[in-house]
């Protein structure tokens, strides 16, 4: 045991100096070789963490913002009256990558990350299509087929991960509901190619009803939990 004669404190920890007055600690008379052996630190040694992931995210955010501001300035300085044109092709992938990286580095569950990343990618592709001359490929093909892909992925997880069936049933139901939404476009827009949107709607509806019918009790229970007030 160590002792600070200035503060009148006994130390169980093998420090050389007093924590409060910084004077050298003396060994008490009681201290023999066995006690010396026993006197150890009660807590593990602090080790500084290297948070390179966070640093890279910050660096990318910084560089991305600089690139966005520069592009917007250059774009607007040439065609202020037309608004943003080519710079949107630069801004959108930078923003996409930024969101992508923040989702990847977040503490969410893997399945949630997959869902968020899938929808983010889909949104990015649809936006990319919408800023071009023709949005047909993105709105009429990429969006419905992408939503079907997400639904199939969720159904795949639902079927193979029996242990988390309740969770995945809800995720599948949610993706199915989202998959049914593009049908609205059929009524509000004149779509050139209607079959992908109709297929997406029918597939999503089938999945939704399938989950409701084949796992009614489990889904009902999970829904009750998720919606409890």
- Residue showing tokens 């990343």: 117
Q: How far is the CB of 69 from other proteins (least distance, A)?
A: 28
Q: Which is nearer to other proteins, 31 or 167 (CB)?
A: 167
Q: Which two tokens stand for residue 227?
A: 């919606």
* CB-based contact 144:199 (threshold 8 Å): yes
Q: How far is the CB of 143 from other proteins (least distance, A)?
A: 24
> Which run of H or E residues covers position 11?
strand 9-11
Q: Which is nearer to other proteins, 75 or 222 (CB)?
A: 222
Q: Which two tokens stand for residue 171?
A: 């995720």
Q: Which is nearer to other proteins, 15 or 97 (CB)?
A: 15
Give the residue from 167, 149, 151 showing the smallest Cα distance to 210: 151
Q: Which is nearer to other proteins, 99 or 137 (CB)?
A: 99
Q: How far is the CB of 181 from other proteins (least distance, A)?
A: 18
Q: How far is the CB of 158 from other proteins (least distance, A)?
A: 16
Query: Where on the chain is the footprint of other proteins (CB under 8 A)?
Result: 1, 7-13, 15-17, 19-20, 40-49, 107-110, 163, 166-167, 221, 225-229
**φ, ψ for residue 48 (rounded to 5)?**
-70, 135
Measure the CA–CA gap between 70 and 210, rounded to whole angstroms. Answer: 51
């Amino acid at each position: 045991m160590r002792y600070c004669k200035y503060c009148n404190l006994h130390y169980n920890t093998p420090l050389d100096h007093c924590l409060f007055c910084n004077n050298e600690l003396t060994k008490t008379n009681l201290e023999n070789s066995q006690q010396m052996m026993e006197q150890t630190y009660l807590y593990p040694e602090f080790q500084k963490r290297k948070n390179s992931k966070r640093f890279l995210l910050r660096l990318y955010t910084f560089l991305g913002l600089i690139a966005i501001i520069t592009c917007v300035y250059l774009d607007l300085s040439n065609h202020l009256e037309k608004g943003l044109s080519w710079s949107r092709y630069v801004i959108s992938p930078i923003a996409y990558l930024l969101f992508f990286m923040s989702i990847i580095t977040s503490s969410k569950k893997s399945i949630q990350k997959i869902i968020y990343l899938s929808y983010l990618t889909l949104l990015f592709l649809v936006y990319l299509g919408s800023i071009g001359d023709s949005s047909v490929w993105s709105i009429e093909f990429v969006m419905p087929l992408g939503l079907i892909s997400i639904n199939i992925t969720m159904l795949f997880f639902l079927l193979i991960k029996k242990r988390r069936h309740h969770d995945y049933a809800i995720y599948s139901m949610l993706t199915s509901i989202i998959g049914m939404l593009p049908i609205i476009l059929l009524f509000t827009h004149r779509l050139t190619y209607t079959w992908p949107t109709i297929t997406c709607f029918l597939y999503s509806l089938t999945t939704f009803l399938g989950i409701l019918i084949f796992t009614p009790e489990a889904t009902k229970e999970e829904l009750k939990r998720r919606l409890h007030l």
